């Protein structure tokens, strides 16, 4: 069962009716929990016991960490015990993540470095026989955040039902957005049936997300896959187009998932935090990370960057902290050297931005970046870095990404490539595809100008009119079968 399917529509309708049928909080949380287990079971039923065990473990450990000070125990001993429990929880969640996602990477790296065929064979066996649980990275990050919050003084959950409903809440379970327990569960106090405008908002978010995924991201994905799986045949122009198309696909695909997740939550009376704020219109790399995957950025700041000292430890140490955090972000995204390089490039870019910003302020020349020309230059540099680094994200094998980068200039495409990709698969010429990608970028710019510049938004009656049209268009025009969500792999 995926978000864009008739099965999900039926599932959501039944869940919505059962959820609001009886005005009891425990009933609604029970419905959420049962619906979440059914939803996940439709994808990977064999991992349900693992998720339940991990949920109960983190719930119990947080209860222990959050126990009040016992007057019979010295304060220092009490703090040591809580700190030990916190580290046990953090490392067990990290080990759970490592055991499923990174063992093949470790074995293959060691096997290649030390020329150990046994390690390489082990890596191949694990890749073939072990599939990581969907949403494991998001699941573990939320657990770590919850344990740290409790250690810092937030109250631990006193109801396993509350905590399990939060942890397994099906709209956000697989690909976020990353949500804090206390922000989520406090909404129970004001939970009520959505008003007509909120119902329209929820349905519109689902329909808009379906359009972004089914009509835009999946069609872009067909071209991106054809280009990057035929690297040796693609020319420099094709690689540039595919890189730009992948950047758009990734944004549309992931933001579409979040739109549908947030829309579903609105129908059930919950609020999930936004994850994107027009990131491709950022004029600096720091601004980009305030707008891209916002809940991950918030997690990295609160649970890695600030504990490392943040910006309070001097300029060079701040730059090192930025680099370290983004390196970890790269590792979190996937077990391959390409993701590590991607994280390192973003860490380096953030460090350079911090140095440039500091020097500009000392020399009092920051006005150079605040005028329209400076903002345009900043935007061009930022997007060149972002889209260029997407190559490592899409091609995490360094042999493939290195080949792509080395052939971005002066390489002619194989004659058969244009026929197979553009003419036969897409039914378009390269120029036509370029114009379509440009038109999509212009449409995104217009949306940005209307919503951020002019503060214009469709009213809810108009949204209700457009919702069935959007869903019908997706049903008729989306590629048959669709493509899996990109962030399911993370």
Asked if 110 and 139 sit in the same domain, the reply is: yes
pLDDT of residue 477: 87
Pick the catalytic residue from 293, 333, 346, 353: 333
- In degrees, rounded to 5, the angle at the alpha carbon of residue 435 between the alpha carbons of residues 432 and 441 is 145
Q: Is residue 6 part of a domain?
A: no
Tally of domains in the chain: 3
First-to-final CA distance of the chain: 19
Tokens of 219: 């069609």
Report whether 421 contacts 223 (CB < 8 A). Answer: yes
Report whether 436 contacts 428 (CB < 8 A). Answer: yes
Q: pLDDT tens across 127-154, in order?
A: 777 788 998 999 999 999 999 999 999 9
Asked if 44 and 130 sit in the same domain, the reply is: yes
Q: Can you tell me the mean pLDDT for 320-333?
A: 94
Q: What percent of the chain has pLDDT over 90?
A: 67
Q: Is residue 14 part of a domain?
A: no
Q: pLDDT tens across 184-198, in order?
A: 999 988 889 999 999
Asked if 369 and 310 sit in the same domain, the reply is: yes
| Confidence at 253, pLDDT banded by 50, 70, 90 | very high
Query: What is the Cα–Cα distance from 253 to 487, expressed in whole angstroms?
Result: 8
Query: What is the Cα–Cα distance from 147 to 360, expressed in whole angstroms?
Result: 40
Q: What is the pTM of this model?
A: 0.93
Asked if 73 and 213 sit in the same domain, the reply is: no
Q: Can you tell me the mean pLDDT for 256-284?
A: 95
Query: What is the Cα–Cα distance from 251 to 20, expressed in whole angstroms?
Result: 33
Asked if 238 and 105 sit in the same domain, the reply is: no
Tokens of 474: 């997706």
Q: pLDDT tens across 400-424, in order?
A: 999 999 999 988 888 788 888 888 8
Asked if 29 and 150 sit in the same domain, the reply is: yes
Question: How much is the mean pLDDT over the chain?
Answer: 91
In this model, does residue 213 exceed pLDDT 80?
A: yes
Q: pLDDT tens across 174-185, in order?
A: 998 999 999 999
Q: pLDDT tens across 92-125, in order?
A: 999 999 888 888 888 888 887 777 777 777 877 7
pLDDT of residue 71: 61
Report whether 475 contacts 1 (CB < 8 A). Answer: no
| Confidence at 11, pLDDT banded by 50, 70, 90 | very high
Report whether 194 contacts 267 (CB < 8 A). Answer: yes
Query: What is the Cα–Cα distance from 150 to 67, expressed in whole angstroms?
Result: 10
pLDDT of residue 199: 95
Q: Given 169, 191, 213, which residue is the final one in a domain? A: 191
Active site residue 333: yes
Asked if 293 and 389 sit in the same domain, the reply is: yes
Asked if 112 and 253 sit in the same domain, the reply is: no
Asked if 385 and 463 sit in the same domain, the reply is: no
Q: Which residue has the higher pLDDT, 315 or 363?
A: 315
In this model, does residue 355 exceed pLDDT 90?
A: yes
Which domain covers residue 360, as residue numbers? 279-394
Asked if 337 and 390 sit in the same domain, the reply is: yes
Q: Is residue 183 part of a domain?
A: yes
Asked if 149 and 289 sit in the same domain, the reply is: no
Report whether 134 contacts 3 (CB < 8 A). Answer: no
| Confidence at 169, pLDDT banded by 50, 70, 90 | very high
Q: Is residue 453 part of a domain?
A: yes
Q: Given 150, 166, 191, which residue is the final one in a domain? A: 191
Q: Given 191, 224, 251, which residue is the final one in a domain? A: 191
């Amino acid at each position: 069962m995926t978000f864009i399917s008739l099965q999900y529509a039926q599932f959501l309708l039944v869940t919505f009716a059962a959820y609001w049928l009886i005005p009891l909080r425990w009933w609604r949380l029970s419905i959420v929990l049962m619906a979440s287990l059914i939803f996940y079971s439709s994808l990977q039923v064999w991992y349900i016991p693992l998720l339940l065990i991990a949920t109960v473990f983190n719930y119990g450990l947080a209860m222990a960490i959050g126990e009040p000070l016992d007057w019979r125990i010295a304060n220092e001993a009490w703090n040591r015990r809580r700190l030990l429990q916190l580290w046990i929880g953090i490392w067990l969640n990290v080990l759970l993540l490592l055991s499923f996602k990174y063992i093949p990477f470790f074995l293959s790296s060691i096997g290649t470095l030390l020329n150990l065929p046994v390690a390489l064979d082990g890596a191949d066996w694990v890749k073939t026989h072990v599939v990581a649980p969907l949403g494991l990275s998001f699941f573990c990050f939320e657990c770590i955040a919850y344990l740290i919050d409790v250690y810092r003084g937030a109250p631990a959950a006193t109801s396993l039902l509350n905590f399990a409903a939060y942890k397994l809440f099906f709209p956000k379970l697989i690909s976020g957005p990353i949500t804090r327990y206390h922000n989520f569960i406090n909404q129970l106090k004001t939970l009520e049936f959505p008003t007509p405008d909120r119902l329209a908002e929820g349905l519109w978010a689902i329909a808009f997300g379906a359009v972004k995924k089914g009509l835009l991201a999946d069609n872009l994905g067909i071209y991106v896959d054809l280009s990057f799986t035929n690297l040796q045949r693609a020319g420099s122009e094709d690689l540039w187009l595919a890189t730009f198309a992948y950047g758009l696909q990734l944004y549309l695909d992931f933001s579409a998932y979040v739109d549908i997740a947030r829309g579903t939550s609105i129908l059930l009376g919950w609020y999930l935090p936004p994850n994107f704020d027009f990131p491709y219109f950022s004029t600096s790399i720091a601004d980009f990370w305030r707008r891209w995957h916002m809940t991950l950025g918030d997690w990295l700041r609160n649970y890695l960057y600030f504990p490392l000292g943040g910006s309070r430890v001097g300029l060079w140490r701040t730059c090192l902290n930025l680099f370290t955090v983004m390196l970890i972000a790269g590792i979190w995204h996937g077990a391959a050297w390409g993701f590590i390089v991607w994280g390192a490039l973003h860490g380096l870019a953030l460090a350079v931005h911090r140095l440039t910003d500091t020097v500009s302020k000392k020399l009092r020349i920051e006005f150079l970046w605040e005028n329209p020309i400076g903002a345009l230059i900043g935007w061009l540099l930022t997007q060149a870095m972002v889209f260029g680094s997407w190559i490592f994200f899409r091609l995490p094998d360094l042999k493939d990404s290195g080949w792509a980068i080395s052939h971005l200039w002066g390489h002619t495409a194989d004659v058969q490539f244009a026929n197979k990709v553009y003419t036969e698969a897409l039914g378009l010429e390269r120029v036509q595809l370029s114009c379509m990608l440009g038109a999509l970028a212009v449409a995104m710019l217009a949306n940005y100008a209307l919503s951020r510049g002019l503060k214009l938004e469709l009213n809810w009656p108009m949204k209700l009119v457009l919702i069935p049209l959007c869903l019908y268009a997706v049903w008729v025009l989306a590629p048959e079968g669709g493509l899996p969500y990109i962030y399911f792999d993370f």
